[in-house]
Amino acid sequence: MASIMTNASALTALQSLNATNKNLETTQSRISTGYRVAEASDNAAYWSIATTMRSDKSSLSVVQDTLGLGASKVDTAYTNINKTIDTVNAIKDKLVAASGASTADKAKIQVEVSALQASLKMTSDGATAAGSNWLSVDTTSGQTAAGTHDDAKIVAAYTRNSAGKVALQTIDVDVQSVKLYEAYASATNTEKGILDGTRLASSGARDNTAVATVGNAAAAATDGYAVSTLTVVGFNDTQIADMINVVDTASKELTDAATKLGAAKVRIDLQKNSTQSLMDSIDRGVGQLVDADMNKESTRLQALQVQQQLGIQALSIANGNSQSILSLFR
């Protein structure tokens, strides 16, 4: 039936052209943005998942920065403890030389010992990184107990469980076991550092019963020495032998402290690599969800452009059909 009121062919052609234009607009948007899911309206589920993953990656990036900062602190403490071990061993060598030496020679040896002791304090005070010093500390305020130091915590991981709950994991460094000097005036010998804590002459261990030994005095169970303050002037060979024992024990504790810091350094390096790998994995996962396949979209664009041209042509032909009705009245 020929009708001038309803052009069914034109309506069909128009619907087809509108569908083609809509698909063309979608394809052009994907090509211009690089995403097939750029907004929630494109695919709500994929957009939501990708947004959460991007948020997690941003948090992991902060964790990566925190690990770098923590690595700087650990490296600084580790390097300075290694220097300290060499200096303490040098003090032990001077004590060995002082054994059996004359009074005049002991005075000369003490000049060298004092210089090494001053170097120890400078090395510890200089072990500051990002405002933190784990070797020369002052827990006058904020300590968990008198003279003790909280563990240093380095944020090392950001995790999300299957329920969507977020948690942070840390690498902890026991500052109490690695510190060399404690500025807290009321700290006991066991609360002080490896170098300034007074140690029993008999065992070499830091002990709260240990008191500073008097030169050439009769031996007592409470006789004690601190690596940072010991002196050979006025002390007999038996007492110097006790000093050697004290310094040797302190050297072993320094080695243990360096081992702990070295282990923390390894953990941080491993976690940095792991975090970077996880960030790369998230990038790949997000890409698989929302990135547009440019090869596919470019091919689709060319096809749609042809369909658009054909649709326009079909609509033009359909609109021309109405003109043919005029010929019936000639």
- What pLDDT is stored for residue 147 in this prediction? 56
Q: What is the mean pLDDT of residues 180-200?
A: 92
Which DSSP string corresponds to 62-88?
A: HHHHHHHHHHHHHHHHHHHHHHHHHHH
Q: By the 8 A CB rule, do 175 and 157 touch?
A: no
The CATH fold of domain 50-291: f41 fragment of flagellin, N-terminal domain (1.20.1330)
Higher-scoring residue by pLDDT: 129, 12: 129
Look up residue 115 and give its two tokens.
């210089």
Task: Give the angle subtended at the CA of 30 by the CAs of 25 and 33, to the nearest 5°.
Answer: 120
Question: Which distant-in-sequence residues (6+ apart) come within 8 Å of 330 by Cβ?
Answer: none
Highest mean pLDDT: which range of 22-26, 66-70, 301-305, 315-319:
66-70
Task: Give the angle subtended at the CA of 305 by the CAs of 300 and 306, to the nearest 5°.
Answer: 100
The least confident of 77-81, 121-125, 317-321 is 317-321
- What pLDDT is stored for residue 294 in this prediction? 85
Position 222 pLDDT exceeds 60: yes
Q: Amino acid identity, residue 64?
A: Q
Position 204 pLDDT exceeds 70: yes
Percent of the chain at pLDDT > 70 equals 92
Position 197 pLDDT exceeds 90: yes
Task: Give the angle subtended at the CA of 294 by the CAs of 290 and 295, to the nearest 5°.
Answer: 135
Q: By the 8 A CB rule, do 170 and 158 touch?
A: no
**Segments making up each domain of the chain, as ranges:** 9-34+293-319, 50-291
CA distances from 101 to 27, 58, 106, 116, 237 (A): 92, 65, 6, 19, 9
Q: Are strands 136-137 and 223-225 parallel, antiparallel or unpaired?
A: unpaired
165-170 — which CB contacts under 8 Å span 24+ positions?
Answer: 166/59
Question: For 168-192, what is the HEC assignment?
Answer: EEEEEECHHHHCCEECCCCCCCCCC
Q: Which of 161, 193, 195, 196 lies closest to 174, judged by CA?
A: 193
Q: Which of 238, 131, 262, 248 lies closest to 194, judged by CA?
A: 248
Three-class SS of residue 129?
strand
Q: Amino acid identity, residue 316?
A: S
Q: Are strands 152-160 and 181-182 parallel, antiparallel or unpaired?
A: unpaired
Q: pLDDT tens-digit profile of 311-329?
A: 888 777 777 766 666 666 6
The least confident of 29-38, 44-53, 201-210, 282-291 is 29-38
Position 289 pLDDT exceeds 60: yes
Q: Which of 126, 116, 70, 107 lies closest to 89, judged by CA?
A: 116
pLDDT bucket at 184, cuts 50 / 70 / 90: confident
Three-class SS of residue 136?
strand
CA dist., res. 195 & res. 233, Å (int): 19
- What pLDDT is stored for residue 20 in this prediction? 84
